[in-house]
Amino acid sequence: MNDFVIHAASYLGPEGFGNDQTGLRAWPPPLQENLSRIQLGGLHWSLLSESDPSRFLRMDLMCRLGFMAAELLGANFDAMTPARRERLGVCVESFTGSLDTDIRFALAPRPTLFAYTLPSTVVGELCIRFRLKGPMLSLVSPDAHGANALGEAVEWLRDDDAEMALCLGIEAMNLSTAESIPLPKNLSPRSWHGAALLLGRSDNSPREKPLPAGALVDICRTLSGANQFLNPPGSKTSKR
């Protein structure tokens, strides 16, 4: 896989949030304890930026984590040419998929939730947001670390189906949702995260950072510098 390079990597999880350029930042103190208990209701866009995407407030948890991870990349998709965006694929992988939303919808059916009862919805939302038109794929896998999403992206690049690929590993399950109905132990919340990797061929990258071995989430966590908080608690990152 040394024909490919990482353009950008980002991660948000219990440890904090950040990317490969800024390192991880601690969550605001009032939120830190809830997030460590997998109570994720406080994950709002205002933690990252002053302006909300128009669709963010109605999104489910999986889409919110995906959007936040993609925003944290700092990749400036809007500056890419239409031809580049047409060759930029999106692959998302998750262990529990949209189960958090499926449970909420089963307990209280609402039209606003129905569109998010598919794990592929986050792919569509990201493509709408960033006007991406390359190959798209959503995977639900027993691997919660996104290794299959990374493998699919590499195949796209090798087969020239895409010039770049946005890979995401997302684990989205609120503890409160999981406790609302009995679940098998292997489906109980073990962790949560949103990790994003922008991958491309080496001749398209301004930064020659070789692709290391390992799964997507582990790569993103490592490149973001997990447990090395470079900013004081409560600080924000903003790209606008």
Give the pLDDT confidence of 36-76 residue by residue, as tens digits.
999 999 998 888 887 777 778 889 999 999 999 999 999 99
CATH classification at residue 30:
3.40.47.10
Full domain range(s) for residue 168: 4-224
**Is 234 within a domain?**
no
* Assigned domain for 48 exists: yes
pLDDT at 32: 92
Q: How many CB atoms lie within 10 A of CB 227?
A: 8
pTM score, whole prediction: 0.89
- Which helix (DSSP H) or strand (DSSP E) does residue 197 occupy? strand 193-201
Q: What is the pLDDT of residue 2?
A: 52
Question: d(Cα 157, Cα 80) in Å, to the nearest integer?
Answer: 18
Please count the structural domains in the chain: 1
CB 24 within 8 A of CB 213: no
Q: Residue 237 has what pLDDT?
A: 36
* Domain-located, residue 141: yes
Q: What residues of the chain score a pLDDT lower than 50?
A: 1, 207-208, 229-240
Residue 73 belongs to some domain of the structure: yes
pLDDT for 232:
36
Tell me how far apart the terminal alpha carbons of the chain are, to the nearest angstrom.
34
Give the model's pLDDT for residue 145. 85
